[in-house]
Amino acid sequence: MTGDVVRKKPLASWGWEGAYDSRSGSQETGLAFACTFFGDEECADPAGVRLEAPRRRSSLLSTLSILLHCALSFAQSAPPEEVVVEGEARREVGEGSASVTVVEVDDRLPVGADLADAVGTASGAVVRRLGGAGNHAAVSLRGSSMRQVEVYLDGLPLNPGGGSVVNLTEWPLQSFERIEVYRGNAPPSFGSAPMGGVLNLVTPMTEAPATVSAGAGAFGTYAASTAAGMGLGKGGTLWGSAGASSTRGNFEAFDDNGTLYNTADDRVVKRQNNGTQQGNALLRWRVGGGRFRLSVLDAARVRREGLAGPIESPAEEVSLSTWRHLAAVKLEGRTSASRWSARGWRRDRSESYQDLDGELGTGAQHTTDRFETTGLLVDGSLLLAPYWVPSATVQVHADRYHHTDRRSGEMDPVRTRYATAATLSSEFWAFSDALYLSPTVRAEMLDSRALDTNQATLWAAQPRLGLAWKPGSSSGLSVRFNAGRYLRVPDLTELFGDRGALIGNPDLVPETGVQWDLGVRLEKPDWGAEGLSLDMCAFENHARDSIVSIQNSQRTSVPVNVGRARTRGVEASLSLWAVPWLDSQSMLTWMEPQNLTARSDVESNRLPGLPVWDARQSTTLVWGERLRLGHTFDYAAGMFRDATNFFLDPPRALHGVFARWTAGPFVVEAGVSNVADRRTAWVDRNPLSVRDDVEVLQPVTDYMGYPLPGRSWRLALRWLEPGRRS
């Protein structure tokens, strides 16, 4: 498609993007709503539907029309002579008060990166891996647990209510256009208020050109994927992706045999039973784009992996096989003064766990766990005035859990839980859109009577408030504040999931918390040669009845409510393009995760599994369109494994490099992770004793005793359909 460049502008709270048309003097799509109320010209949407606007009725409305038109046309000093709208419009992220980072899946990310790598570039995000490439990886935001983070696919919940931990390595990075990381006050349209934030995976909105990727790496790692989109006429698009990967994961790691005070049995061992094989496919069909749009999505994945266990307690024969399927339908509609959508989904997940020798947990096990979620979410908003947009969201879903003991043939009764939530929200603008206010209240009802637990029926209200202020229209500066109350109910695995080293606890009660954050954002796209983006935010989270896993002497874990906890900190990110050949991105997070439970052995201790300092630096040198040379540095301070703060994992400081060469439609990239081959570090043998100043060698781990590989290489090749722009 040829034509002049479309200059797009964010349209406040509406779910559509627009482009300025110099010939008609109107703003497309989103501005069509405002024109219908206050304009006297014809407005258009991307599908070509013409909306006839009424005549202005007073000089006041005329003045408002002019002011609104000028505000939305800000920075259009040289409008193009011709407008070409390509693809679908979408909501502009980050225009409200939410603390959000948008990670674009483009040339800034290494070709060999996975979804967990991309999420880890956002400030406040700590990615936890159970080993190297291909192994289980999940994310914690601002010191939250992994279950407190809700993950969405195009707005469809993959773990509604924090119902499970989403493995990020299950989803190929090439399947997405961008990743939205909401660390606080996620938009009400998600229909939830998670304690740990929201991760929204967004598939390409346009007719994406084809791409084919293949790669190989250390420790028997291989991967291949493809993605493509096509137009079907009359606004219809078909897009899909598929991929497969495999790894042996047999890297060498240091093992102290679990004896801190005995160094005679220290050794270097090769990880066994650490391999993973998986395949996945995703297909999305869309039709419409004017007043109505229908989307159908289907995603499936199969995965088999060995569970190697912690380094000091390896398992050689334990395995987990997983099958997952997601089917969803979404219908969207809009009129001149409203927007609405209805989403229905069905998610099935089956996990087959096999430990015939009883290497993990309390004995030999061979089980199958099946999880089912069926849900419906409806949301809508009205443009009652240029400065007021109220909205409402209603969500209902049912969770089912079925456990089968394959060794004995016994089947537990099917456990079902129902949840209903309603959210009311309004967005207000004042002082020429310089001030933004968004009060929200969410009411939730949880029906657990069929589970036979202590929580039969739960009613909860979760109010929150968002505020944003832009002191100058051209300064690029904005100040944001968010505060609210949040809740997470224990999932069915925590309640009943007796498997491996995890023992369920049906006496768990919901987690609750109060959070606030205050941030400043500076965006100067025309600063210097290229641009500058700076984001800083202070936050504090108070949690009550937090659910943590307590490990006993048999190395089995039981989730329990532990009382009160507080996490406060500061996060900062800086993106700098000072010159055309330099791209620099920096992220730094400081946290103080503190246990406030009134027990002498844990009070005022640091919460386990959370680093005080977490940092990432990415620097890329760019020579035209052909060559990119990059360096990454990841640092995480030492973390405690237990609530008593006795077992201290060493700090992690990892360097990586990559080189990418582009020749026509082909892209070749070579990279090395953990260049310094850092696998061990010295830590205090007994952090609780000031008299014990002995240091011991410990493996560099990422989560709870699971070691990271040493120096690793990778090679990737990608073919991009000619004409594609990343």
DSSP per residue over 108-131, as a string?
A: TS-TT--HHHHHTTSTTEEEEESS
Report the relative pairing of strands 706-707 and 712-720 from DSSP bridges: unpaired
Burial of 552 (0-12, 13-18, 19+ CB in 10 A): exposed
Tell me, what DSSP letter sits at residue 161? Answer: G
**So what's the pLDDT on residue 438?**
94
d(Cα 224, Cα 472) in Å, to the nearest integer?
48
**So what's the pLDDT on residue 160?**
80
Instruction: Write out the residue range of the structural domain in which residue 55 sits.
Output: 8-72
* Of residues 662, 640, 661, 637, the one with CA closest to residue 651: 637
d(Cα 414, Cα 400) in Å, to the nearest integer?
7
110 with 46, same domain: the answer is: no
| Maximum Cα–Cα distance across the chain | 90
Burial of 348 (0-12, 13-18, 19+ CB in 10 A): middle
**So what's the pLDDT on residue 358?**
82
The answer to whether the beta carbons of residues 30 and 9 sit under 8 Å apart is: no
* Of residues 198, 199, 172, 180, the one with CA closest to residue 115: 172
111 with 218, same domain: the answer is: no
175 with 241, same domain: the answer is: no
Averaged pLDDT in 10-residue chunks for the chain of 726 residues = 32 34 34 32 34 35 37 36 33 70 85 85 84 83 88 87 79 87 88 86 80 92 90 83 92 87 88 92 88 93 90 86 94 92 94 88 84 94 90 93 88 88 93 91 88 75 93 82 91 77 81 93 68 89 83 67 88 83 90 87 84 92 90 90 84 92 93 93 86 87 80 92 61
- Count the domains in the chain: 3
613 with 529, same domain: the answer is: yes
pTM for the predicted model, two decimal places: 0.81
* Residue carrying the six token digits 């369920």: 504
Cβ within 8 Å of residue 159, ≥6 positions away = 147, 150, 151, 165, 166, 491
* Of residues 237, 242, 376, 365, the one with CA closest to residue 301: 242
d(Cα 227, Cα 229) in Å, to the nearest integer?
7
188 with 220, same domain: the answer is: no
28 with 139, same domain: the answer is: no
The answer to whether the beta carbons of residues 402 and 414 sit under 8 Å apart is: yes
Angle at 642 between CA 266 and CA 250, to 5 degrees: 45
CATH of the domain at 184: 2.170.130.10
**So what's the pLDDT on residue 81?**
35
Cβ within 8 Å of residue 147, ≥6 positions away = 159, 162, 164, 165, 196, 488, 491, 494, 547
Q: Which amino acid is at 226?
A: T
13 with 128, same domain: the answer is: no
292 with 145, same domain: the answer is: no
The answer to whether the beta carbons of residues 152 and 200 sit under 8 Å apart is: yes
d(Cα 235, Cα 372) in Å, to the nearest integer?
33
534 with 642, same domain: the answer is: yes
Q: For 369-508, where are the alpha helices, taking DSSP H only? A: 492-496
Q: In the numeric block, which tokens belong to residue 555?
A: 């190395």
Of 151, 175, 202, the domain-final residue: 202
DSSP H or E segment with residue 354: strand 338-355
d(Cα 113, Cα 616) in Å, to the nearest integer?
15
Q: What 3-state class would DSSP assign to 167? A: coil
Tell me, what DSSP letter sits at residue 637? Answer: -
197 with 215, same domain: the answer is: no
198 with 254, same domain: the answer is: no
Asked if residue 725 is part of any domain, the answer here is no
**So what's the pLDDT on residue 8?**
32
The answer to whether the beta carbons of residues 149 and 183 sit under 8 Å apart is: no
